[in-house]
Amino acid sequence: MIRSMTGFGDASTSVDGVHYFVEVRSLNSKYFKANIRLPDEFQGLEAELESELRQRITRGTVTLTGKSTDEGASAALEINHQALDRYVSQAREAKAVTDGTVAIDFAALLSLPGVLQPPTDDLARIDRARVAFRTLLDESCKHLISMRQREGMLLLEELLGHRTYIAERLEKMRSLAPRVVADYEGRLRARIDGMLKDAGVQVEAMDLIREIAGYAERTDVAEELSRLGGHIEQFSELIESRDERPIGRTLDFLAQEMLREANTIASKTPDADMSRLIVEVKGAIDRIKEQVQNVE
């Protein structure tokens, strides 16, 4: 089954006054690569979220963005009373030294280092975030994969069109191939007859046969046409298969092999009609090579 490598999915939820959000995007890439972006307090979850992504997506550059907004009482920082008492004690000592001219500003005290600290239930918050992010990751990936499948169907239609285009021209080349040698033989006989007509010289039949046989061997593209036909059949089987395995890299390699055979045919055939057909085939293969870069 063909799937595109580009896609997008997101999901959100609220748990006990905390809002969680996950967004997953994927772009083309030769291999799998994950970029995880989480709030600082949840950086420790990156490795396990990447592992979850690898189980669902096999190819592409995937960017996961997770956000968390605490709208409940748990969002409040906690006051470190020991640190606050120490600052107040030092302020009172300074007031005594300066004859009572130092005022104590409570708001300023709260901004001093160590007075306000994150809640102490870090493990509990991380566990809640772990459950929420993993659940949202699963939902986001379902949306992303669904989009990749829809785009894959569009890719499939285009690839099938190119497959049919190449197969039709391949069939025409098969019918033209025998004519190439016959045309050469006719031209060779006519040219020799014209050159030797007035000289009264005879050309041995065996010499003519050897020349024609050598030309036939040099211009024979039957093997290349057969291999190109085999590649087209394999290409068809891959893109029409319902197998869930990724096939993008296989299609890319197969397109390179198809182009290799087409280039060999182009270099061996002297026939104008064959040359025109093989140019059209090479153009279609180039378009296939471009499109399979987006196949997972």
CATH, residue 66: 3.30.230
Question: In this structure, are 48 and 105 located in the same domain?
Answer: no
Q: What pLDDT does residue 128 have? A: 87
Residues with Cβ within 8 Å of residue 223, at least 6 apart in sequence: none
The answer to whether the CB of 218 falls within 8 A of the CB of 268 is yes
pTM: 0.71
Give CA torsion, residues 274, 275, 276, 278, to 10 deg: 80
| DSSP code for 4 | B
Please tell me the distance from the alpha carbon of residue 125 to that of residue 118, in angstroms, as a whole number.
11
Q: What pLDDT does residue 183 have? A: 61
Q: What pLDDT does residue 257 have? A: 95
Q: Which range of residues forms the domain containing residue 58?
A: 7-74+121-148
SS3 38: coil
Q: What pLDDT does residue 139 have? A: 96
| Residue among 160, 151, 166, 112 nearest 295 (CA) | 151
Please tell me the distance from the alpha carbon of residue 238 to that of residue 246, in angstroms, as a whole number.
10
SS3 112: coil
Can you say how many angstroms the Cα of residue 275 is from the centroid of all Cα atoms in its chain? 34
Question: In this structure, are 166 and 255 located in the same domain?
Answer: yes
Q: What pLDDT does residue 130 have? A: 92
Element (H, E) at 263: helix 248-268
Q: Look at residue 41 and tell me if it is in a domain.
A: yes
Residues in the chain where the model's pLDDT stays below 50: none
Question: In this structure, are 108 and 168 located in the same domain?
Answer: no
Question: In this structure, are 133 and 30 located in the same domain?
Answer: yes
Q: What pLDDT does residue 30 have? A: 86
Question: In this structure, are 133 and 236 located in the same domain?
Answer: no
CA atoms within 13 A on the CB side of 172: 15
Q: Look at residue 209 and tell me if it is in a domain.
A: no
C-alpha angle 266-187-175 in degrees, rounded to nearest 5:
45
Q: What pLDDT does residue 111 have? A: 72
Question: In this structure, are 130 and 232 located in the same domain?
Answer: no
Question: In this structure, are 87 and 108 located in the same domain?
Answer: yes
Q: What pLDDT does residue 88 have? A: 73
Structure token digits, residue 30: 């030769």
Q: What pLDDT does residue 76 have? A: 59
Question: In this structure, are 143 and 175 located in the same domain?
Answer: no
Residues with Cβ within 8 Å of residue 169, at least 6 apart in sequence: 277, 278, 280, 281
The answer to whether the CB of 231 falls within 8 A of the CB of 256 is no
Q: Please count the structural domains in the chain.
A: 3
**100: exposed, middle or buried (C-beta count within 10 Å: 0-12, 13-18, 19+)?**
exposed
Q: What pLDDT does residue 72 have? A: 58
